[in-house]
Structure formats: structure tokens, C-alpha cells
Structure 1
Amino acid sequence: MPSTLYRLKEHSNEDKQHYKLFNEMTEIVPQVARQLDNEKQLVEYKGDITFVPSKDIVHQVKNDKYIGTISTHRRLSPDSTIYAQYERTLQMKPSFDKEQCHILGMILISNKQMIVAGYNNNKIKIIDICHGRLVSQISVSSEPRDVIKLPQNQVAVALPDEQHIQIMSYTYTSMSLDRRIDVGNKCYCVAYWQDMLVVGCNFNPGKLIVLDFDGNIVEVFDTPGLFGGPKKIVISIDEKFIYVSDYNNVSKRSKFLKIDWQGNIVQRFEDQGYVSPTGIQELIGGTLLVCYRNIHTIVRLSRSFKECPIVGLEKANLHFLQAVIYCKRDQKLYISCSSAHGFCADKIKIFSFELF
């Protein structure tokens, strides 16, 4: 019986649509006829035709010096060399903080503000980039390991010790705690994808868990040997792949992976000389920047995971790199790192990017 009622309702809706379309066609016929008649009269008209401009538009043009600007950006390719020019450093330890702000995660919420996760002092902070000052901060219940941006002015914070993802709301002057999503595993990093969270969990071995916002498990990637311990995960710009910085604290084995949504390894970057990958940033054109904490450098990889040129960072005195983000609008690179030979990433170094 319910299916019969559904079909009757469906037919009724179709009839209504047909009637509506018929009425609209009936009403538009006279309008089309009038338009055709006007066009015919205009073609046959033998007199002069004068264009009268709008006074408002003329006034606007006289008072405005320009109607817009044109900006150009070179297309980034694997063969192009990136030059990073150091600009300045943001210090992340206000005088009233008892502990240093060890920045393991950070995101841009505009080209003038960022949100950072302070691991040592259990704080999430809004930072004014232009003036290098603290705008607002809020305490979380345990040490945050990662922070990502969500739609509708929200962020997600990974709290591994409590096995939770903390959802928060923000304005450009304040933050508030919303709700928690139970992961059931130590969650070290998190990414957002199509109204779901992709969470990097555990180590020796590690795994990825895909959750909806009600905490229901959609998928788990835990093939033996796939992960030692995910430290950072990023969804590719085209949303087809997952990039994973992986480091096994026991075996000391490091690898950077590109996997598909079936958990298959598409590409792998693994070199004994590169230890402990952390932050990831994908640039337009498919090129990648990967922080390597223990060798104090950033590696640039092409789509096929071949190393590409990047000049300037070797002179920037980077140590113990953790997070990296890029502002496309201003072509600025932000890297959280420590002082020379330090082990607390309490500074954010800012670089401008140029291609040649």
C-alpha cells in the first residue's frame, strides 16, 4: 500500500508540473510576438538612432580612477625553482604563559590571522600575523597534537591522550568549545573530507579511521605494515588521495605516503637520510612540501614524488620543524620551528615565495 500511494503522489506531481509548464508557455507567446514585432520595426526604421547613457554610470566613471586591477601569477610546475625569502619570525610565548607553546598544528583563517595548537600549554590560540600578537586563546583539556579547519567557522583539534576530537567554533576575536567526537584510539592527526573526519591513530602499528560527525566509523585503513605511526595527514586538493607523514617511534623508520581511498599505496617517498616527516603542504600544481623534523629541512616533491628545487630555506636557520602552511593569496609560507638546537617549536618563520 505505501508504494501505491507513493506512485499516485508521483503521478499527481507530474500532472501539476505539466499544467504549470502549459500555462507558462501560453503566457509567453504574446511576449515573444511583441518582441519580434519590435525587432522588425527597428530593422525597417529609416531615421537616426541615438544612445543615451545612464547619468549614474557616467557620474561613477568620472569619479572612480579605475574599475579594477589585474594580477598575474606564474603557473607552478615541477621544473620551476621556488625561491623562499625569509621575512620575519613570530614568537609564540606570551609573558603570561607558564610553558612554551610547542606548535604541532596551525591553520590560516584569513591572510591576516591563524590558529595554532600549543602542545605544551594545552592552548588553542588566534594569532594576528601582521602585528605578531595574541588575539584570543582558549584552554583544552589535554595536549593538542593537530588542528584543522572545518566549514562554518569551526575547527577540529586532535586530543590523543583522551582519544577525542574536540570541535570548536571561532570568530576573528574569540573561540568556544562545542562538542567532542570519541575516536576510541590515540588520535595524533586529523583531516576533513566531504563531511567526514580522517583521523591518524596509534603507532607501532598505526592506522587511519574515517568517521562521520556522529562518531560512526565509515572506514578503517589498517593493513599490516601500512603505517608505523601517522604524524600528519592531508587530503589532496583534488580530494582523490590522502598524504601521510609516517614515523615508527620504535623502528625509527620514516616514510611519506600517497594512498587512495581503498588504502592502496599510490606513491612512496622513503629515504634513510630523511627522518621523521611531520607537516605537509600541497601547492597548486601538485607539488608538495614535507617537513622533516630531525634533519631540519623541508623537502619539495613533485606529483611523482621526485625531489624538486627549493632555494633559500637552507639559509634560514630552521630547526625541529613541525608544521607548514601556505597562503596562496599573499604567496607566504609559514613554518613552525625551534631555536637553534632546541626541541620546542615555539616560533613561526615567515617566507615569501617566488618562482623563476
Structure 2
Amino acid sequence: MAVPGKKKPERFSLSSTMGSDDDPIVYCQPCDCDGPRLPAHGYCVDCREHLCDTCFMAHKRHTLSRHHTLLDDNSMPQTMSSAPVHPSQPDNLTKPCPRHMKEMIKFYCQNHEALLCSVCVTLEHTVTTCKVNYIPDISGQVINSKEHQVILKAMDTITEQCRKKSEDVKKLTAKSNSSLTDVLADIKKFRTEINQRLDELERQAEDAVKAIQQENNKNLKKVETTCDDVTKSLKTSSDAIKHLNTTKKADKLFVELKLAKQMIKDYKKRVHQSAAIDVKEYNFRLNKAISTLLDKERSLGTFTEKSAKQPSPSTAVDIKSRQTSHQGEICVKTSKDKNACWITGMILLTPDKLIISDGVNSAVKMVDTRSQSVTDQLQLDTIPSNVTSVTSTELAVTLPDKQNIQFISASSNKLKKTKTLKVDGKCYGISCCQTKLVVSFCFPAKLQILDTKGTILTIVKGENIFSKPVHVTTNTNSIYVSDWNMKTITRLNWQGEVTGSYGGMTEPHAITLSDDGSVFVCDWGRNVIEEIITGDCSTGRVVLKDLNHPYAVCWCTDTSKLYYSCRTGEDKHDNFLQVFKLS
């Protein structure tokens, strides 16, 4: 208590811990701060605080303080200014916590194998949930431990791997740079060949022009000669007739007139024949294929790898060698369907869960590939075109007639509408990769890259690129678009630049990517499915033929199975998905 007659002391001052000179009293400092003043019955050397019985026992139990050195009431300092009786040894823990930079790492959580500071322990790794140790209490066992040896060995191993990798990359870089020097030489050679060919074509055009000019001059000379001859002859005859008429020589005049009459008839014919010569004017209509070459083509050629890791030409991948076996078919027509199915798009959420869009029946269906049955069906109020997975439980479907993208939840094996995204045209193809949507439009033909909120990131359009792009698929490197009218598969990078094109098809429809980067495409007109090697999109082979107008297609990496639908107008084909295994 305070000494009578004196001013009330401030808390934590020396006088606050004293009674009279003969009866010193030391109080619990935590309680004195924000609670009732209680006598101290112990002392924490680390915290340098006096503690009451309650705080003393709590200090022993709490994770942050149970390692502290505690003194009972017989050993504790009797005044605030007294030095600790048994000061604890300072630890050597000076590494700051990466999350709480003002705190030092002093604890280790056995459950999460994590280094912690006192704030981490208090907030996330409490004694009730984790086994937390004070590092000085357990650190002694790591000296010359097995863990110490294993970690050093692992470090040495990685260091050696880095050294070897650096040497390997250095050698490969030298080879690559050398090959690129050859590439530059090939480019210059190719450019020279192009120039020579263009020069040749120019000479041919000049020769054709000169030939026409020569023919024109020849015809002109012929007409001029004819007209001169006719004019001279007629003048001679006219002068004779005038003279005979003046001199009244009737007999000779009669003969001359009859001859002139015949002459006029013959000369009319000659003049008419001369006038019939067709002399035309010309203009130059350029070769469209050449004129659009630089607009359509984005490079002189492509770089193909010749790495030692790739198979030699004699053992290069031959798509023809794929083994195919029919695994059966899955009926996707349900009791809710009023018409035969038209499966316009499909995507796998898992190897056992296939999502399909049914255009004619305005539905999205979930198909269990194990039980080979439709497990859920979501009816829409308009025709869906294509479907893609956004996450493992979310889908996006294009609705061209409404110019919308409908998002659908596919959790708990149930399909349910969620949000709707408005777009600026009739959207058909759709594919999602790393939260970006790639959407194709036909009227006008274009491609858009959007985020899932609808913000347009990139637009690709141009009559030399797209005409009717209806199907799209993507991976982290490229975008692939099939175009009905242009009869091509076009590859683009994520900046919207064309990096390759594959043609030679009659009516390409849906496309899907395999695990090794190849593209499978349904050629509806030829009744085949082709596989395109994506290195430069220049090589492709038929893997399935004699089909019934394949339309939509989907590849399963885990099972190496290819699913495809048909569009024939016949129930026996259109209501089923065909399943093939490829190896």
C-alpha cells in the first residue's frame, strides 16, 4: 500500500513494489498492468517479471513460456531493481520469421514440419492443435545427426547435378547456335529462290505483254495497208468516172460504173474484215494467292527441332502405326429428349465423367463412362453449341442464339445453372485454359480471348484467317481453331498470332488435344478422324476411317480412349457415342 501523506506512485515504478521500509511488498506485474494488484509469489528470469500464483502456473503451461526459467518466492528478487538470481543463457536464434519480420524463429511444429516465431505459435500452431517445441530444447540432437548427413549429401548431389546440367546446356547451346547459323543461311537461300522465281514470273508477264503489243501492231499495219489500197483504188476509179462523164464518153463510162460497182462491193467486204480485228484494252489482275501471301503467312517457314533426344528419321513417330480397337458405344438419348440427339460438343471432367452438349434437345448431359449411362441432364431454353471445363466442378457452354455464355456447376454429380456472361456476337466454339476463355464467332468471323468476367483481352479477325470458325481447343502454349469454310485447322499463340495451319480436309468440325500435343479432328465430309502433329501443323494421318459423319470428339489421356459423336440424321448413329482405344 502507499505510504500515508505521499503522492500516489505511477505503476511499475520502484515505489509501487514497496510497502514500508520494514515491510517491502513485490506485486505481480501482469496483474498490476490491467487487473487487481496481487502479491508476487514467483519470478520469470526470461521475462524479468514478478508473477502471482495464477500467472506463475499459467507461465509453466503456455507454449511460449513453458521453457522459461522460473524462481519461487524464496528465490525470486525482492525488489524490482534486483538482478536475476539465475539469469538464463541467451539463445542464438536470430533468423527473422518470413511472415512476421520483427519476430525471431524460435519454435518448430512437428505436425507441419514448420519453423515458427511466437506470433505463428499464438495464431496458427497452438498447443491444442500442434506439437510445438522450443528449438533450444531439441536442437542438441542435430549435431552430427543422420539428418545432418542426409541433407549435406542431398545438397552435394544437387550441386553436382547443377554443374552437369550447366555443362550439358552449354554444349547444347553451342549446337543450337550453330544450327541457327545454318538456319539463317537456309533462309537467305530460300529468299534468293523466291526472288528468282518472282523474277521469272515477272519476265513471263513482260513477254506476254510484248507478244500482245506485237500482235496489235501487226493488226494495225494490216488495217492501215488495206485502207490505203482501197483509198487509192477508189480515188483512181472516181477520177476516171468524173472524166468520162465530163467528156460524155458514154460507153466507157458505162463500163467504168459497172466496174466501180463491183469494186465497191469487194472493198466493203475488205474494210469490214479489217474492222473485225479485235483490239482490246487490258488491265492487270494480280494473282490473289501471291498478293495475300504476306498477309496470310506469318513466317518464311518454321523451325523444327533436330535434338538428339528426338527419334531419328527412320524411327520417327508414324501416326499410321497407332493401334485402334473399338470399345463399344454409349447411348446418350434419354426419356426427356424429344428428338434424336445432336452432340455438338464434349469435355471430360474426370476419366469417368463426360459432359456433352445436345444441340437438338437443348440440353447439357453428364455421362458416366463406367456405367455407360446419362446420370444427369440440364435443360436449357436455347440451343447450346460447345462446352468446356472452367474448373473441376464448373462448365461453360456457348449459346449462340442468345449471344451468351452459360456457366454451369457440376458438383455432387448434378448440373445446375450459375452465372451468365453476355458476349458481342453469336458465340460457337469455346475452350478454357488457366482462367482464360477462348471463344469463336461466325458472324462476323473472329476469335476472342476473355477472362471469366468477360473482359476482352485479345481479338483475332481477318478474312485471310477465319471464315466460319466453329470449334476451338487450347493448351498452355497454343490455340487451335477448325474452320468449316476455309477447311483448315489454324494454330495461334496466346497473343493471337497465327503460328501454323493444316489443310486438305473437306469439312473439319470438332477438335481435341492428346496428351502428347497432337490434335484429333473430325472431318465430317470424308468420314474420318485425322491426327495432326503439332510441331508445325504440316503432318497428319487418318487414324479412324469409314465412320458415320463424325462431329464432336474428346480424348481421355488417362485411358487413351477417343470418344466421338455422329451427325447423320439417323437415330441408330446420332444417339450414341463411339469409344475407341488408341495405342
TM range (shorter): 0.7 to 0.9
Could you list the per-position Cα deviations for residues 170-223 of structure 1 after superposition, in whole angstroms to 9, with x for gaps in the alignment?
Answer: 1353211101000121000111122221110124x4111122222222221123
Secondary structure of the equivalent of 1:318? coil
User: By how many angstroms is 1:160 displaced?
Assistant: 0.2
Structure with larger Rg? 2
Relative to 1, partners in 2 of residues 1:228 and 1:147: Cα closer, same or farther, differing over 3 Å? same
Distance in 2 of aligned mates of 1:220 and 1:308: 28
Match for residue 266 of structure 1 among 488, 499, 510: 499
- Does structure 2 retain, via aligned residues, the 8 Å contact 1:101–1:120? yes
Distance in 2 of aligned mates of 1:332 and 1:293: 20
How many pairs are equivalent? 295
* Superposition map of 1:135-174 within 5 A: 135-174=375-414
- Does structure 2 retain, via aligned residues, the 8 Å contact 1:108–1:115? yes
Relative to 1, partners in 2 of residues 1:331 and 1:37: Cα closer, same or farther, differing over 3 Å? closer
> Which protein is richer in helix relative to its size?
2
- Return the letter of the residue paired with 2:142: Q
Distance in 2 of aligned mates of 1:344 and 1:159: 25
Secondary structure of the equivalent of 1:109? strand
Match for residue 101 of structure 2 among 11, 17, 20: 17
- Does structure 1 retain, via aligned residues, the 8 Å contact 2:421–2:454? yes
User: By how many angstroms is 1:157 displaced?
Assistant: 0.4
1:4 alignment partner in structure 2: none
In the alignment, structure 2 segments of 5+ residues that lack a partner are 1-96, 108-115, 118-133, 147-310
In the alignment, structure 1 segments of 5+ residues that lack a partner are 1-12, 40-74
* Superposition map of 1:322-341 within 5 A: 322-338=551-567
Asked whether 1:112 is paired with 2:352, we answer yes
- Does structure 2 retain, via aligned residues, the 8 Å contact 1:160–1:188? yes
User: By how many angstroms is 1:36 displaced?
Assistant: 2.1
Asked whether 1:86 is paired with 2:326, we answer yes
User: By how many angstroms is 1:108 displaced?
Assistant: 1.6
Taking only aligned residues, the RMSD between alpha carbons, in angstroms, comes to 3.0
Distance in 2 of aligned mates of 1:98 and 1:183: 29
User: By how many angstroms is 1:260 displaced?
Assistant: 1.2
Distance in 2 of aligned mates of 1:195 and 1:149: 10
Which of structures 1 and 2 has the larger relative contact order (alpha carbons within 8 angstroms, sep 6+)? 1
2:369 alignment partner in structure 1: 129
Relative to 1, partners in 2 of residues 1:18 and 1:342: Cα closer, same or farther, differing over 3 Å? same
User: By how many angstroms is 1:84 displaced?
Assistant: 1.5
Could you list the per-position Cα deviations for residues 104-153 of structure 1 after superposition, in whole angstroms to 9, with x for gaps in the alignment?
Answer: 10112222231110000101111222333221111112100001111140
- Does structure 2 retain, via aligned residues, the 8 Å contact 1:83–1:310? no
- Does structure 2 retain, via aligned residues, the 8 Å contact 1:82–1:309? no
Distance in 1 of aligned mates of 2:99 and 2:394: 44
User: By how many angstroms is 1:165 displaced?
Assistant: 0.2
Match for residue 488 of structure 2 among 250, 255, 260: 255
- Does structure 1 retain, via aligned residues, the 8 Å contact 2:366–2:374? yes
Distance in 2 of aligned mates of 1:351 and 1:21: 58
% identity of equivalent residues? 25
- Return the letter of the residue paired with 2:354: M
- Return the letter of the residue paired with 1:275: T
Asked whether 1:246 is paired with 2:483, we answer yes
2:454 alignment partner in structure 1: 215
Match for residue 305 of structure 1 among 518, 537, 540: 537
User: By how many angstroms is 1:31 displaced?
Assistant: 4.0
Relative to 1, partners in 2 of residues 1:348 and 1:172: Cα closer, same or farther, differing over 3 Å? farther
